[in-house]
Chains A and B, each alone.
Chain A
Amino acid sequence: MRYAFLDENSKKEIRRAILKAIAIPGYQVPFASREMPIARGWGTGGLQITLSIINEGDCIKVIDQGCDGSLNAVNIRNFVVSVTGNKTTTDTKKATIIQSRHRIPEEQLEEGQCLVLQVPYPEVLVNVEADSYKQKLMHANKDYARLWVLLYEDTARFGDSRISNRYPVIVNNRYAMDPTPIPRYDIPKLNNNKALILFGAGREKKIYAIPPYTEVEPLKFEDKEFKIETFDDKKCARCGTKGVFMDEVYNDDGSVTYYCNDTSYCDKKLKGEL
C-alpha cells in the first residue's frame, strides 16, 4: 500500500486546503473529502489531515475523549500505523502529531507540535441557521447577530448559555468558529497556543485552522464570566489530582468514582513525572 493510504493528488489537495485555512484563521475551507476505511462520523476528516501531513519522522498520538486506549483511538492509531509504519506514543510531550476527538490534552503543547481535531460540525452557525448559503452570507458579513441573540435568550432564561461543548469562539477577531465538541474547560487552551491546531470535518467536507499564537476568545458578553466545568473538590481515585477535567464513572454497586479524563496525564502524575 502507498505510504499514508491516500494518493498523492489527494494529499496535495488536502495540503492546499490546510494552507488556505492557516492563512485565514477560523475560516472553513471546502475540500473533496475522500471515503476512508472507517465510517463517516468516526474521524475521517481528522484522519485525512493526519495522513496528508504525516512524514516518516513523525511520532503520533491518538486520543478519544482524552484516552489513548479508547476504542476509536485504538482503531485510528492502528490504521495509521498500518499504512505508515510510524512511531506512536501516549506521551503528549513526545508526539509531533496528536489526533484527538473531543479533548485538548491537559499538558501544554509546544511549538512544532500539531494538534488535529476531529470535527462533527464545522459550522458554528448550524444551531441558528441550517441553510448553507445563508450561513456563508453571515460569515462573509461577519453577521453573528443570531449567535448573540441565542446567547441573550439563554442568559435571560437560564442565566448562562446552554451550550456546553462546541462553545462558539471568535478567531483572530474575525470569524466565529466551532471548536469541536471540546468542553468549555478546553476553550482557554485555544487562545495563543504555541502549537498549530487543525480541524478536519470529513462528512461535511471542510478544513479549518488556528495558527500558533492566534487570539481566540469565547463568544460571551463582556460583563459575564465564561463558566468552565468544575468538579469541586473531587479527586482522581487513581492519582489523587484535583482541578482537571474528570470522568464520572458509575460502579456496579451504584457508587460514583472520578478519574482524570486525560489518561496519559494521569499516568504521568502517578509516576511522579508531573
Chain B
Amino acid sequence: MILEVKNLTKVYGEFCDKCLESTGPEFESSVCPYCSSVVAVNNINIRVNKGEVVGIVGESGSGKSTLLQLIYQDQKADQGVVYIDGFKDDLGNYKNILEADPNELSYLRTKLMSMIYQNPRLGLNYQFSAGGNIAEKIIMSGIRNYAEIRKRVLYFLEKTEIPKERVDDYPDRFSGGQQQRIQISKALASNPKLLLLDEPTTGLDLSVQAKILDLIKKLQKEMGFAMIIVSHDLGVIKHLTNICIVMKNGQIVEKGLTDQILEDPQHPYTQLLVSSAL
C-alpha cells in the first residue's frame, strides 16, 4: 500500500456530536442542522496501492479538494489517521502522518508526497526563477552539488517541455499552462512516491489541458508514482485514472474501477454526473 486514509474528518465550526450523522448525501447537505457547522469531509476511508491512479470526482463543495489538503496538511484534520509507505517508527509500525512534527512534515512533503495545485501561485514561489523552484525541491532532498542540481533542473524542465533557455526566468513571465508545467516539474523533482493533484488543468485552454494530461500520464508511466487526482471533470478522470471515487456532501457515494463506474454507475448521484457529462 502507498497510502491509507482512515476516518478522515474535517468540520468548520463548533463540531457537535450530531454533525457527522446528520449531514451527507442522504440529507443533501453538508451543514449540520443543530450547530450550523459545515462538515466538509465526513469519515473518509481510502486506500491507494503502488502505481494506482485514483480519481476523486464530485461537484464543488463535495469535499474532494479539502480531502487532498488534509492529506498534504495544508489544513489540519479534526479526526482520522493517515499512513503512507515509508513513514514508520523504529519498531516498523506505520506512523500517523497527521501527527508529524515540522521536521517530519518537511520529509513527507519532499521525499514521499508532492502536491500540484490548480493555481500555480500556491505551488510555486514567485520570488525564485523557474529553475530555482525546481532546485528547491532537489536541494531539500539532500543534493548539494551545483552541476548535479542544474542538470536535474534542466532534465525536469525538458520532461515537461519547457524550453531550457528559460530556466532562469521568473514564473510570472510564463503563460498559465507553462506555469502549471513548472509546477509539475517541481513536484516531480524530488521523486515522490505519491502525487496529489488538485484540479490541475481546470481553467486552462482545452488544447493545453489535453497536452498537460498526456504529459502527466506519460510521466506516471515512466516514473511509476501513485497519484490521486481531484477533478470535477469526468473527462480528466476517464483519461488518467484506473480507480474512481465519487464524493458528495463530504462522503464517498461510490467507489470502483473508473471504466465500470463511468459505464455503469450505481448510485443515483453518479448516474446524474455521468449523464450530464458533455
Report which A residues bind B (CB closer than 8 A).
137, 140-143, 145, 148-149, 152-153, 155-157, 221-224
B139 engages A141 (CB within 8 Å): no
- In the complex, besides A153-B129, A156-B129, A221-B145, 12 extra interface pairs with C-beta distance below 8 angstroms are A137-B102, A152-B131, A152-B135, A152-B146, A153-B128, A155-B146, A156-B131, A156-B132, A221-B144, A222-B145, A223-B148, A224-B146
Q: Which of B106, B135, B148, B168 contacts A141 (CB 8 A)?
A: B106
Bound CA–CA A145/B128 (angstroms) = 12
B136 engages A149 (CB within 8 Å): yes
A149 engages B135 (CB within 8 Å): yes
Minimum C-beta distance from B149 to chain A (A): 6
Residues of B within 8 A of A143 (CB): 106
Q: Which of B102, B103, B106, B132 contacts A149 (CB 8 A)?
A: B132
Q: Kindly report which residue of chain B lies nearest to residue A137, judged by CB atoms.
A: B102
Q: Which of B140, B145, B167 contacts A156 (CB 8 A)?
A: B167
Bound CA–CA A143/B101 (angstroms) = 13
Could you name 24 residue pairs across A and B whose Cβ atoms are closer than 8 Å? A141-B106, A145-B136, A145-B139, A148-B135, A148-B144, A149-B132, A149-B135, A149-B136, A149-B139, A152-B132, A152-B139, A153-B128, A153-B131, A153-B168, A155-B146, A156-B131, A156-B150, A156-B168, A221-B149, A222-B145, A223-B145, A223-B147, A223-B148, A224-B146
Residues of A within 8 A of B128 (CB): 149, 153
Query: Please, how many residues of chain B have a CB less than 8 angstroms from a CB on the other chain?
Result: 20
Residues of A within 8 A of B129 (CB): 153, 156
Bound CA–CA A113/B149 (angstroms) = 42
Where chain A touches its partner, the secondary structure class is: helix
3 A-B pairs with the lowest CB-CB distances in the bound complex, closest first: A221-B146, A148-B139, A152-B135
Q: Which of A137, A140, A153, A222 contacts B144 (CB 8 A)?
A: A222
Where chain B touches its partner, the secondary structure class is: helix
Minimum C-beta distance from A104 to chain B (A): 26
Bound CA–CA A99/B176 (angstroms) = 55
Quick one: which of B129, B146, B147 has the most chain A CB within 10 A?
Answer: B146
Q: Kindly report which residue of chain B lies nearest to residue A138, judged by CB atoms.
A: B102
Residues of A within 8 A of B131 (CB): 152-153, 156
Q: Kindly report which residue of chain A lies nearest to residue B148, judged by CB atoms.
A: A223
Bound CA–CA A155/B149 (angstroms) = 11
Minimum C-beta distance from A81 to chain B (A): 47
Q: Which of B106, B136, B168 contacts A157 (CB 8 A)?
A: B168
B132 engages A153 (CB within 8 Å): yes
Q: Kindly report which residue of chain A lies nearest to residue B135, judged by CB atoms.
A: A152
Q: Kindly report which residue of chain A lies nearest to residue B133, judged by CB atoms.
A: A149
Q: Kindly report which residue of chain B lies nearest to residue A142, judged by CB atoms.
A: B103
Minimum C-beta distance from B275 to chain A (A): 48
Residues of A within 8 A of B132 (CB): 149, 152-153, 156
Q: Kindly report which residue of chain A lies nearest to residue B147, judged by CB atoms.
A: A223
Bound CA–CA A211/B154 (angstroms) = 42
Within 8 A of A (CB), among B117-173: 128-129, 131-132, 135-136, 139-140, 144-150, 167-168
Minimum C-beta distance from B132 to chain A (A): 5
Bound CA–CA A149/B86 (angstroms) = 27
Residues of B within 8 A of A137 (CB): 102
Once A149-B139, A152-B139, A153-B132 are accepted as A-B contacts, the answer to whether A141 and B103 lie under 8 Å apart by CB is yes
Residues of A within 8 A of B140 (CB): 145
Within 8 A of A (CB), among B185-210: none
Bound CA–CA A155/B145 (angstroms) = 12
Residues of A within 8 A of B136 (CB): 145, 148-149
Residues of B within 8 A of A222 (CB): 144-146
Once A148-B139, A152-B139 are accepted as A-B contacts, the answer to whether A141 and B149 lie under 8 Å apart by CB is no
Q: Kindly report which residue of chain B lies nearest to residue A147, judged by CB atoms.
A: B139
Residues of A within 8 A of B147 (CB): 223
Bound CA–CA A141/B107 (angstroms) = 11
